[in-house]
Amino acid sequence: MDDIKGGFATTAAAMVAILLGSPFNAVTAPYVIAMAERSYSPEVVDLIGIAWMILAYPFVFFAARASILAALTAAGVYIAYRFI
């Protein structure tokens, strides 16, 4: 059963990451770049901006996967409790 639940969570999380990775980057990138500008040269800030853009997708993926797994587990426990 864990394989089915994990597979579903991974597939759904990949879809969520595709849909929400870019908006997450658009909302958070100005803050990350502003913080980087305080400590680094402009060349390094550009690199940090690119790295943040690339890392936004895995951040969203793993957050979505953890949330979906928790929701599926809670739903399973609730359904099991209802039939007891």
pLDDT in the model for residue 84? 84
DSSP 83: T
What ranges make up the beta strands (E) of 1-84? none
pLDDT in the model for residue 3? 78
Across 42-46, average pLDDT? 96
d(CA 2, CA 24): 29
Q: Where are the domains of the chain?
A: 2-82
* Chain segment 14-25, per-residue pLDDT in tens: 999 999 999 999
Across 28-33, average pLDDT? 96
For 13, 14, 48, 57, 58, the CA distances from 26, given in Å and listed in that order, are 19, 19, 14, 12, 15
| Residues 68, 13 contacting (CB under 8 angstroms) | yes
The pTM (predicted TM-score) of the whole model is 0.84
